[in-house]
Amino acid sequence: MRILILFSALFFVSNISANAQHDTIVDTRDGKVYKTTQIGEMVWMAENVDFKIEKSYCYSNKVENCETYGRLYRWDAATKACPEGWHLPTEEEWQILEKELGMTETELVKENNWRGNDQATKLVSDSLLGFNMLFAGYHNPPSNSFLIGMQSFFWTATDVHTHAWYRQMRDGSGQIFRKTRPKSWGMSVRCVKD
Protein backbone atom coordinates (compact mmCIF):
# COMPACT_ATOMS: atom_id res chain seq x y z
CA MET A 1 0.00 0.00 0.00
CA ARG A 2 2.82 2.40 0.90
CA ILE A 3 4.50 1.74 -2.43
CA LEU A 4 1.29 2.56 -4.30
CA ILE A 5 0.87 5.83 -2.37
CA LEU A 6 4.53 6.77 -2.92
CA PHE A 7 4.27 5.97 -6.65
CA SER A 8 1.06 8.01 -6.95
CA ALA A 9 2.67 10.96 -5.18
CA LEU A 10 5.77 10.82 -7.42
CA PHE A 11 3.58 10.61 -10.54
CA PHE A 12 1.57 13.64 -9.42
CA VAL A 13 4.70 15.72 -8.63
CA SER A 14 6.42 14.78 -11.91
CA ASN A 15 3.31 15.80 -13.87
CA ILE A 16 3.25 19.18 -12.12
CA SER A 17 6.89 19.89 -12.92
CA ALA A 18 6.46 18.73 -16.53
CA ASN A 19 3.39 20.92 -17.02
CA ALA A 20 4.94 23.88 -15.17
CA GLN A 21 7.13 24.65 -18.18
CA HIS A 22 4.09 25.27 -20.41
CA ASP A 23 2.13 28.52 -20.30
CA THR A 24 0.31 30.99 -22.53
CA ILE A 25 0.72 34.64 -23.48
CA VAL A 26 -1.70 37.14 -25.00
CA ASP A 27 -0.52 39.31 -27.87
CA THR A 28 -1.99 42.66 -26.81
CA ARG A 29 -1.85 43.94 -30.41
CA ASP A 30 -4.66 41.64 -31.59
CA GLY A 31 -5.73 39.59 -28.54
CA LYS A 32 -4.46 36.26 -29.89
CA VAL A 33 -3.35 33.73 -27.28
CA TYR A 34 -0.19 31.66 -27.88
CA LYS A 35 1.05 28.60 -26.04
CA THR A 36 4.63 28.77 -24.75
CA THR A 37 7.15 26.20 -23.60
CA GLN A 38 10.43 26.39 -21.75
CA ILE A 39 13.27 24.41 -23.33
CA GLY A 40 16.46 24.66 -21.32
CA GLU A 41 16.82 28.27 -20.18
CA MET A 42 14.77 29.77 -23.03
CA VAL A 43 11.02 30.24 -23.29
CA TRP A 44 9.73 29.72 -26.85
CA MET A 45 6.31 30.23 -28.39
CA ALA A 46 4.80 26.80 -29.00
CA GLU A 47 2.85 28.08 -32.00
CA ASN A 48 3.71 29.97 -35.18
CA VAL A 49 2.97 33.68 -35.05
CA ASP A 50 -0.21 34.86 -36.79
CA PHE A 51 0.06 38.65 -36.46
CA LYS A 52 -1.04 40.38 -39.66
CA ILE A 53 1.42 43.02 -40.86
CA GLU A 54 2.63 44.22 -44.23
CA LYS A 55 4.77 41.64 -46.08
CA SER A 56 3.14 38.68 -44.33
CA TYR A 57 0.97 36.07 -46.05
CA CYS A 58 -1.41 33.21 -45.53
CA TYR A 59 -0.27 30.13 -47.44
CA SER A 60 -2.00 30.26 -50.86
CA ASN A 61 -3.84 33.39 -49.61
CA LYS A 62 -6.27 31.20 -47.62
CA VAL A 63 -7.21 32.57 -44.17
CA GLU A 64 -7.75 29.04 -42.82
CA ASN A 65 -4.04 28.35 -43.43
CA CYS A 66 -3.10 31.31 -41.21
CA GLU A 67 -5.48 30.02 -38.53
CA THR A 68 -3.83 26.57 -38.60
CA TYR A 69 -0.20 27.31 -39.47
CA GLY A 70 0.35 31.00 -38.69
CA ARG A 71 1.51 33.58 -41.22
CA LEU A 72 4.53 33.44 -43.51
CA TYR A 73 6.70 36.56 -43.18
CA ARG A 74 9.33 38.20 -45.34
CA TRP A 75 12.41 38.68 -43.19
CA ASP A 76 11.93 42.40 -42.48
CA ALA A 77 8.34 41.72 -41.37
CA ALA A 78 9.52 38.72 -39.31
CA THR A 79 11.77 41.04 -37.27
CA LYS A 80 8.62 43.00 -36.26
CA ALA A 81 6.20 40.08 -35.86
CA CYS A 82 6.86 39.17 -32.21
CA PRO A 83 4.82 40.82 -29.43
CA GLU A 84 6.37 43.11 -26.82
CA GLY A 85 8.70 41.19 -24.50
CA TRP A 86 9.49 38.64 -27.22
CA HIS A 87 11.83 38.60 -30.23
CA LEU A 88 12.75 36.70 -33.37
CA PRO A 89 15.44 34.21 -32.27
CA THR A 90 18.99 34.73 -33.47
CA GLU A 91 21.14 32.14 -35.19
CA GLU A 92 22.88 31.59 -31.83
CA GLU A 93 19.55 31.04 -30.03
CA TRP A 94 18.53 28.40 -32.60
CA GLN A 95 21.88 26.68 -32.01
CA ILE A 96 21.29 26.74 -28.24
CA LEU A 97 17.90 25.06 -28.83
CA GLU A 98 19.45 22.46 -31.15
CA LYS A 99 22.19 21.72 -28.61
CA GLU A 100 19.56 21.39 -25.86
CA LEU A 101 17.88 18.77 -28.08
CA GLY A 102 21.13 16.79 -28.33
CA MET A 103 22.80 18.08 -31.51
CA THR A 104 26.59 17.77 -31.35
CA GLU A 105 28.98 20.75 -31.65
CA THR A 106 30.22 19.36 -34.98
CA GLU A 107 26.70 19.22 -36.39
CA LEU A 108 25.72 22.64 -35.01
CA VAL A 109 28.15 24.57 -37.20
CA LYS A 110 27.48 22.75 -40.49
CA GLU A 111 25.79 24.95 -43.08
CA ASN A 112 24.00 24.24 -46.35
CA ASN A 113 23.43 20.73 -45.06
CA TRP A 114 21.01 18.54 -43.10
CA ARG A 115 22.28 18.31 -39.52
CA GLY A 116 21.64 16.23 -36.42
CA ASN A 117 19.61 13.06 -36.21
CA ASP A 118 16.31 13.37 -34.28
CA GLN A 119 16.11 17.02 -33.21
CA ALA A 120 13.36 17.93 -35.72
CA THR A 121 11.32 14.90 -34.65
CA LYS A 122 11.44 16.18 -31.06
CA LEU A 123 10.18 19.60 -32.19
CA VAL A 124 7.24 17.98 -34.00
CA SER A 125 6.08 15.22 -31.71
CA ASP A 126 7.62 15.38 -28.25
CA SER A 127 4.56 16.21 -26.13
CA LEU A 128 6.68 16.85 -23.02
CA LEU A 129 8.82 19.34 -24.98
CA GLY A 130 5.68 21.03 -26.30
CA PHE A 131 7.20 22.92 -29.29
CA ASN A 132 4.38 21.65 -31.57
CA MET A 133 6.09 22.34 -34.89
CA LEU A 134 3.82 22.33 -37.94
CA PHE A 135 4.88 21.92 -41.57
CA ALA A 136 3.70 25.33 -42.80
CA GLY A 137 5.66 25.47 -46.07
CA TYR A 138 7.02 28.78 -47.43
CA HIS A 139 6.08 31.70 -49.68
CA ASN A 140 8.29 32.72 -52.60
CA PRO A 141 7.28 36.05 -54.16
CA PRO A 142 5.50 37.19 -56.09
CA SER A 143 2.72 34.77 -55.12
CA ASN A 144 3.93 31.18 -54.98
CA SER A 145 3.51 28.97 -51.92
CA PHE A 146 5.14 25.57 -51.55
CA LEU A 147 5.44 22.48 -49.33
CA ILE A 148 2.61 22.96 -46.80
CA GLY A 149 2.16 19.75 -44.80
CA MET A 150 5.64 18.61 -45.88
CA GLN A 151 8.25 21.09 -44.63
CA SER A 152 8.78 23.93 -42.14
CA PHE A 153 10.89 27.06 -42.63
CA PHE A 154 11.75 29.41 -39.74
CA TRP A 155 13.58 32.74 -39.95
CA THR A 156 16.33 33.73 -37.55
CA ALA A 157 17.10 37.37 -36.71
CA THR A 158 20.64 36.95 -38.07
CA ASP A 159 21.12 38.42 -41.53
CA VAL A 160 23.95 38.52 -44.04
CA HIS A 161 23.42 41.43 -46.47
CA THR A 162 20.43 40.49 -48.69
CA HIS A 163 20.01 37.07 -47.05
CA ALA A 164 19.22 35.77 -43.56
CA TRP A 165 19.78 32.49 -41.74
CA TYR A 166 16.86 30.11 -41.46
CA ARG A 167 15.98 26.60 -40.31
CA GLN A 168 14.19 24.02 -42.44
CA MET A 169 12.66 20.72 -41.35
CA ARG A 170 10.83 18.08 -43.38
CA ASP A 171 8.23 15.50 -42.55
CA GLY A 172 9.74 12.05 -42.00
CA SER A 173 13.24 13.33 -41.17
CA GLY A 174 14.71 14.15 -37.77
CA GLN A 175 17.35 16.46 -39.22
CA ILE A 176 17.40 20.27 -39.40
CA PHE A 177 18.73 22.19 -42.41
CA ARG A 178 20.74 25.40 -41.84
CA LYS A 179 21.35 27.93 -44.60
CA THR A 180 20.70 31.51 -45.73
CA ARG A 181 17.94 32.53 -48.13
CA PRO A 182 16.87 35.83 -49.72
CA LYS A 183 14.96 38.05 -47.28
CA SER A 184 12.07 38.19 -49.78
CA TRP A 185 11.03 34.62 -48.96
CA GLY A 186 8.05 34.13 -46.63
CA MET A 187 8.73 31.84 -43.66
CA SER A 188 7.21 31.03 -40.29
CA VAL A 189 8.15 32.84 -37.08
CA ARG A 190 8.61 31.42 -33.59
CA CYS A 191 9.39 33.99 -30.91
CA VAL A 192 11.66 33.71 -27.86
CA LYS A 193 11.05 35.55 -24.62
CA ASP A 194 13.40 38.52 -23.97
Neighbours of 171 (CB within 10 A): 12
In this structure, are residues 86 and 45 in contact, taking their beta carbons and an 8 Å threshold?
Answer: yes
Cα 174 to Cα 30: distance, rounded to the nearest angstrom: 34
According to DSSP, residue 55 is labeled T
Reported residue count of the chain is: 194
In this structure, are residues 89 and 157 in contact, taking their beta carbons and an 8 Å threshold?
Answer: yes
Q: Considering the entire predicted model, what is its pTM?
A: 0.87
Give, for all 194 residues of the chain, the pLDDT tens digit. 444 333 333 333 233 233 337 899 999 999 999 999 999 999 999 999 999 999 999 999 999 999 999 999 999 999 999 999 999 999 999 999 999 999 999 999 999 999 999 999 999 987 779 999 999 999 998 778 999 999 999 999 999 999 999 999 999 999 999 999 999 999 999 999 99
The rounded Cα 145 to chain-centroid distance in angstroms is 19
69: enclosing H helix or E strand: helix 63-69
- Give me the residue spans of the domains in the chain: 19-193
Q: What is the DSSP string of 11-40?
A: HHHHHHHHHTTEEEEE-TTT--EEEEEEET
